[in-house]
Structure 1
Amino acid sequence: MKVATRRQFLAAAGTAAALTALPRGLQAQGAATRAGTLAADPMRPQFHLLPAKNWMNDPNGPIYFQGQYHMFFQYNPEAAVWGNMSWNHAVSSDMLHWSHLPVALTPTPAGPDAYGVFSGSAIQVGSRVYAVYTGTKKGSPELATIRDKKSEIQESQCLAWSDDPRLVLWTKDPAPIVPRPPEGLRITGFRDPSAWKQGDWYYMTVGSGIAQVGGCVLLYRSKDMRTWEYLHVLVQGAWNGQPTTNPCEDGEMWECPEFFALDGGHVLIYSTLGKVFWVSGILNEATMKFKAARTGLLDLESFYAPKTQLDAAGRRILWGWIQERRSEDAMRTAGWSGMMSLPRVLNLDKDGTLRMQVLPETRALRSAAVPVTKADTGLRAVLPRATGEVLCTGAGATDFTFGLQTSAGDLFRVQYHRDKHAFVADGKEIALAPADLPVLHAFVDGSVVELIVAGRLGYTRRFYYADITAPDVTAWTDGSGTSLQAWQVSPISSNRLTTPA
């Protein structure tokens, strides 16, 4: 979980974007904390998960349990900016339609999580679900694990459990299960545990870093989920050598790591440098040493701190926090901040390349086809009020550009170059395999675009506007032989998920 420069990041994003908080017609209604105002905000999404109000960030402990999908996530019950970190809770039967449940975990005064219940994961053991998470409290500088200007926050790994079939009632272990980082390491952070069962052992990764060396992932094991033994550094990264006030911004700290088996190999995902990276390779299960083979980015833009889970069919599902790109003042005025990405299904190629696609079952949200028109410059489809789905497929024999735009200008453009068999998005070249089709799959929802580039990379963008209604978004492509399909998408609730638990 990103902590030390959360406010700096938000302020910088707001300055760069220079965006309004609420459409003009809603600003007169006040601070936008009333459910009616939130439900009327056209920038609030209609088919993405988010809390009824206030701030959210990292997904925590997504799990399929007793026939339901449970999503926990970082949440501020008090405001639409970061603070008072707790685990909020929502439930779904299909990973698409969600209902809010009561907040699951909150800070315990004088406890190891008194400053905040930070990110973690969930694991089922019989009829019980355990949550491992980072508890934070203020302490003396010599015990601090968050290295920033103040150096007063101490992180430890904590445990909670639920025997409730609805996962509403939770019990916390009063003492941390891993109270301190390993001895002898000059760590730059110590948070975001992720646990799994393998053979006779439970294993747990923790995000960390070694000062002036780089971010890393620490590996632990346990027989009972309570007593943990430190093993070794699972993966070590490299610092970029440019010190910042937050080690996550210069690669000296990795946060929100997760390690999992996939299609005959293993994959590590982690967040640093404002991005999310993946590494695939082979795990020696006897020594628990990991040999990396390939690496890449998960997403180009507003996507951070992801978690995964297995669904009912055994597919590996990826969730991520879609960040805002507006100021703290704008978020306070709007009364909400952040959303969950759509679920993405992960697979691993034989060469170790990570692939992704938006959950195919999202087709159930399509309500009607959007007409596609042909002009001298190519194909066009208009998504009314910034809501819809678009699929653009190139022939592979010609160059083409795909874009989304409003009357105010471009949201983005992505180019395909046939000579390289590659896309270029946000200045980054995404090379395709020889058998890959040049396909782009986009979802537009109020103030967000989620684009999957040829099943290889996400490109998540935010956009804002001042009108009381959302603008129409035009999808277009100019390539010969390129096809364009588009659909309207149905809301997952009648009021933009503003009904509280």
Structure 2
Amino acid sequence: MKKKVILMTLFCAAMTGSDMAAQKADAAPPAVQPGETSQWRPMLHYAPRQYWMNDPNGPVFYKGVYHLFYQYNPMAAEWGNMSWGHATSTDLLHWQEHKVAMISNAERDVFSGSVVVDRDNTSGLGTVENPAMVALYTSVFKAGTGHEPGVQAQSLAYSRDGGYTWQAYKKDPVLTLAPASKNFRDPSVTWYAPGKYWVMTAVVADAPVIKLYKSDNLIDWTFLSDFGPAGFVRPGMLWEMPSLFALPLDGDTARQKWVMMIGVNPSSIAGGSGTAYFVGSFDGTTFQAENLPPAGSDPSAYNWGDHGADRYAVMLFSGRPTGAPLTIGWMNNWDYATAVPTAPWKGQMTLPMTASLKTVSGRPQLCFAPDAHYTALVAKHPSHSFSALKLDAEQRVLPDAARGDVLDIQLEIQAKGAKKAGVVVRASADGTTGTRIVYDFEHHTLSLDRSRSGKTDFSPHFSPVHIVNMSADQAMSAHIIVDRSSVEVLALDGSVVMTDLIFPPAGADHVIAFAEGGSAEFKQLRITPLSDGIASE
């Protein structure tokens, strides 16, 4: 989230209600700029028109509109001047960017947080007829504010017009640590129905520990308990962006479990920053993790929300009245986020995905699936099937109908003696460039290899290969979503996700199927090109 605490002062007035209101007008998109890398601008994923973006903040659904707030530098394509950017959508695919919602100023930077719709007006900041949106966010105070520079505490703002303008609350901050901390941040708020109160999770990032609080009104907070350190922890590791939520196990509401999801950085499963989670119980006061591996276990023994390198700070959309929890994360990694070769923007979001809890390989695991809006988009477009394709220790460039820089791929491979098999996406015709999704039938692993995916020399930390252990089957199924600068792979009923950035050259839009060391049958290989799908709708 905010690894480099180098506070760049933006000399503007303190953030008052009128200052926030001045941000209401939509941002005018600038003209295409010299050096713009339009070949890597995503079509399926949200990215701001220009400048720096990292963690999602307070994603919320209200009156048919999805609001996405996010960490944003409104002045440059680098970390700094942390503010809340704002975009809206009705389908999670087409986004309208708005003016900055809450802006950095001479007194503070505005770090991550969450937004809830106060439908019962527990805060008194709206009405039952017109509920207020309430944002709990981290203020990072600067000199001259009565706080030591760099101190982090939780502040509150509210909106009475559906999230377009924001008013700072008179009591500021509403929650601090004693003694004050420079690593107390990332409040995430949810309604705890059995107790009829709000629950906040926030981190002391460098402890690392998650602190739980309760409130009847979103303003006055009482400490409940601590969680952590627990699980896979290494010296120097930060915990960030916690989320606590309940899910029925295998769809059975009588077997409800609680999930604590966190961002970890560094030392995630794929290196740098990543997403981990714990499954357990919550009694309204304390979260207890279940089935933790023995201390010192290999990182793969723990629960990871993604085994790729580029899915961090995953949050849930609040305010959805029904349906599975909907998640979105930052598609990047702190190991190289400042160096990615996109211009004039840096940073994009993952594809929104629903979350469920299923028993996979004998234990409860978070499973992710693309949101129904994306599924409907794919269904509208012609697909091309190459099912029953048989390869004998060879690779085959698929016909031009399968070409595209934005693709949806459904894949099932049956081993017929092959040691490995898979596909290469965003490939050059000669196969020298491309991103390889490989199943190893001997070692039962799934890997994503981006070592020859295109531009990779912008950072020595741009990790080339990511691997995850799978079940010992002689068949592999996967759902692969390809955008102009990313690949997302889902397998094992969505319990395995691999999210990786790629930066392929122009013209690298082929798909290659391959088998190594023997024969393999592609029992399903359905490819749906989507390159013209978003812009034309």
2:309 corresponds in structure 1 to: 301
In structure 2, the partner of 1:322 is: 331
Q: How does 1:257-276 map to 2 (within 5 A)?
A: 257-263=242-248, 264-272=256-264, 273=266, 274-276=273-275
TM-score of the two chains, using structure 1 as the length reference: 0.78
Equivalent residue number for residue 338 of structure 1: 347
* 1:5–1:225 CA distance, 2 compared to 1 (3 A): closer
1:206 aligns with 2:191: no
Task: Provide the C-alpha distance between the structure 1 equivalents of 2:218 and 2:337, rounded to a whole number of angstroms.
Answer: 40
Q: CA deviation at 1:374?
A: 6.2
CA change 1:282–1:386 in 2 (3 A) is same
Asked if structure 1 preserves the Cα contact closer than 8 Å seen for 2:40 and 2:485, the reply is yes
Q: Which residue of the partner structure matches residue 413 of structure 1?
A: 437
Equivalent residue number for residue 369 of structure 2: 357
CA–CA distance in structure 2, aligned partners of residues 181 and 380 of structure 1: 59
Structure 1 residue 179: deviation in Å? Answer: 4.4
CA distance in 2, matches of 1:424, 1:54: 32
Shift, 1:139, TM fit: 4.7
Question: Of the two structures, which has the highest relative contact order with CA contacts closer than 8 Å and spacing of 6 or more?
Answer: 1
Aligned to 1:27: none
Q: Note the C-alpha offset of 1:278.
A: 1.0
Q: What secondary structure, in the 3-state scheme, does the structure 1 residue paired with 2:382 have? A: strand
Q: In 1, Cα distance between the equivalents of 2:44 and 2:6?
A: 26
1:237 is matched with which residue? 230
**How far does residue 321 in structure 1 lie from its aligned partner after superposition?**
0.5
**AA in 2 matched with 1:389:** D
Give the whole-Å Cα distance in 2 for the aligned partners of 1:487 and 1:216: 44
* Corresponding residue number in structure 2 for 1:87: 84
Note the alpha carbon deviations across 1:456-478, whole angstroms, 9 max, x for none: 2221222224x5x3521424243
Mapped contact 2:445–2:467 kept (Cα < 8 A):
no
Cα deviation, 1:212-250, whole Å, max 9, x if unaligned, reads: xx41101111111111112221332378564xxxxxxx3
- Superposed displacement of residue 492, structure 1: 6.4
The answer to whether the Cα contact below 8 Å between 2:487 and 2:501 also exists between their aligned partners in 1 is yes
Which one-letter code corresponds to 2:185 in the other structure? R
Paired residues in the alignment total 440
2:390–2:520 Cα contact (<8 Å) kept? no
Once the two structures are TM-superposed, the CA of residue 428 in structure 1 deviates from its matched residue by 3.4
1:448 and 2:486 aligned: yes
Q: For 1:369-401, what per-residue CA distance to the aligned partner results, in whole angstroms no more than 9, with x for missing partners?
A: 246476652665465352211111134776542
The answer to whether structure 1 residue 430 and structure 2 residue 475 are counterparts is no
SS in 1 for 2:199: strand
- Work out which of the residue numbers 460, 472, 479 in structure 1 matches 2:509: 472
Aligned to 2:46: 49
Give the C-alpha shift of residue 298 in structure 1: 1.3
In structure 1, stretches of 5+ residues that fail to align are: 8-31, 145-151, 243-249, 497-501
What's the % identity of the aligned pairs?
25
Q: CA deviation at 1:202?
A: 1.1
Cα distance in structure 2, aligned partners of 1:204 and 1:216: 14
Contact 1:322–1:338, Cα closer than 8 Å, also in 2: yes
Q: Distance in 1 between matches of 2:309 and 2:339?
A: 22
Is 1:459 aligned to 2:498, yes or no?
yes
CA RMSD of aligned residues (A): 3.3
- Kept in 1: contact 2:263–2:312 (CA 8 A): yes
- 1:5–1:416 Cα change, 3 Å: farther
The structure that is strand-richer by fraction is 1
State whether residues 313 and 330 of structure 2, in contact with CA within 8 Å, keep that contact through their aligned partners in structure 1.
yes
Question: 1:118, 1:293 → 2: CA distance?
Answer: 33
Look up the equivalent residue of 1:2 and give its one-letter code. K
Does structure 2 conserve the Cα–Cα contact (< 8 Å) formed by 1:76 and 1:82?
Answer: yes
Change (3 A) 1:38 1:444: farther
Q: Which runs of 5+ in 2 are unaligned?
A: 8-28, 120-130, 249-255, 267-272, 293-301, 449-464
The residue number in structure 1 matching 2:208 is 215
1:149-298 alignment, distance < 5 Å: 152-165=149-162, 167-183=163-179, 189-198=183-192, 199-209=195-205, 214-237=207-230, 242=235, 250-251=236-237, 253-263=238-248, 264-272=256-264, 273=266, 274-285=273-284, 287-293=285-291, 295-298=302-305
